[in-house]
Amino acid sequence: MKIDPDYLLQREFPKVTESYSEKDCILYALGVGMGLDPEDEEALRFVYEDGLKVMPSQPVVMAHPGFWASENDIGLDWVKILHLGQELIFHKPLPPSGSVEAVTRFTDIIDRGKRLGALLITERVVRDSATGEDICTIITDVLARGDGGFGGERKSKKKTDVIPSRDADKVCDLETSTQQALIYRLSGDHNPLHVMPQIARDAGFKSPILHGLSTMGVMTHALLKTCCDYQPERFKRLRLRFSAPVYPGETIRTEIWEEAEHIAFRCKSLEQDKVVINNGYLSLT
């Protein structure tokens, strides 16, 4: 079954409504490594209910439509898909408890040919159910490696953010825990690739890997700490590309460049000596 881009661009996803509590916010923060340093009182504000702060990246797990790539009418070889990129546009901070709703839609379907696959871009706007106010717009790039060659548009409209060639202005090293994937999955991503050793080996990894969005959460912590004095309301727009997996227990180094109107960044696994997040862009208020 080939991808039908016209069908996908008009496909309707059901509205998802989700209630959440302070406990859910704390669980998400623990799943991205907040609280590992018991002496970092600013980071502890994200895992302690008295005056709780909410991670700006948390909307990525909220009012999610589920694993739509495996649904029959989508027409994907879903085993071969990769989470390629993520963008978040922040409209207002997420309250520490409440109810949100969102509807997902496809915004672009790009045919890169049989060898390179297809790029599918979705958009989800998370809104406060009580007020109708937009909280965060979430744009996700998925590469369907086994589904190119259907004859669609061949060029993406999205630009790639450039990392400066000079040395980084700031560096932030943050450890992950060996249990981090086990905690992060409780926020909604139950893929056994991140838990079961044999499934990970069958997929070509030496052991279960950390969720890409948990790695993104560690990166968000680094940017909060280094650029924002732990003020999540300062985040305005964030985008990045995933380039390699992280194994739980590794240390993630976030390299930061302070440009005239934005912050550029990338992340490396120190143990692998490999870039795991690249082409990062952050604008602040």
Domain borders along the chain are 5-144, 170-284
Q: pLDDT-based confidence at 155, cuts 50/70/90?
A: low
When pLDDT is averaged across residues 194-199 and rounded to a whole number, the result is: 92
Contact yes or no for 213/27 (Cβ under 8 A): no
- Alpha carbon distance 267, 256 (integer Å): 9
Q: pLDDT-based confidence at 226, cuts 50/70/90?
A: very high
Contact yes or no for 141/124 (Cβ under 8 A): no
Closest CA to 105 of 68, 71, 78: 68
Q: Does domain 170-284 have CATH number 3.40.1350.10?
A: no
Mean pLDDT rounded to a whole number for the chain: 94
Q: pLDDT-based confidence at 76, cuts 50/70/90?
A: confident
- C-alpha distances in Å from residue 122, one per residue of 92, 128, 235: 21, 20, 21
Domain 5-144 fold is Thiol Ester Dehydrase; Chain A (3.10.129)
Higher-confidence residue: 155 or 213?
Answer: 213
Which range, of 63-67, 89-93, 105-109, 234-238, averages the lowest pLDDT? Answer: 63-67
Position 267 pLDDT exceeds 90: yes
Cite the active site residues. 189, 194
When pLDDT is averaged across residues 240-248 and rounded to a whole number, the result is: 97
When pLDDT is averaged across residues 265-275 and rounded to a whole number, the result is: 98
pLDDT of amino acid 277: 98
pLDDT tens digits, one per residue of 156-174: 667 789 999 999 999 999 9
- Alpha carbon distance 171, 256 (integer Å): 6
* Domains 5-144 and 170-284 equal at CATH topology level: yes
Position 153 pLDDT exceeds 70: no
* % of the chain residues with pLDDT over 70: 98
Q: pLDDT-based confidence at 146, cuts 50/70/90?
A: confident
- Alpha carbon distance 75, 4 (integer Å): 8
Count the helices and strands in the chain (H runs, E runs).
6, 11
Which range, of 150-154, 184-188, 264-268, averages the lowest pLDDT? Answer: 150-154
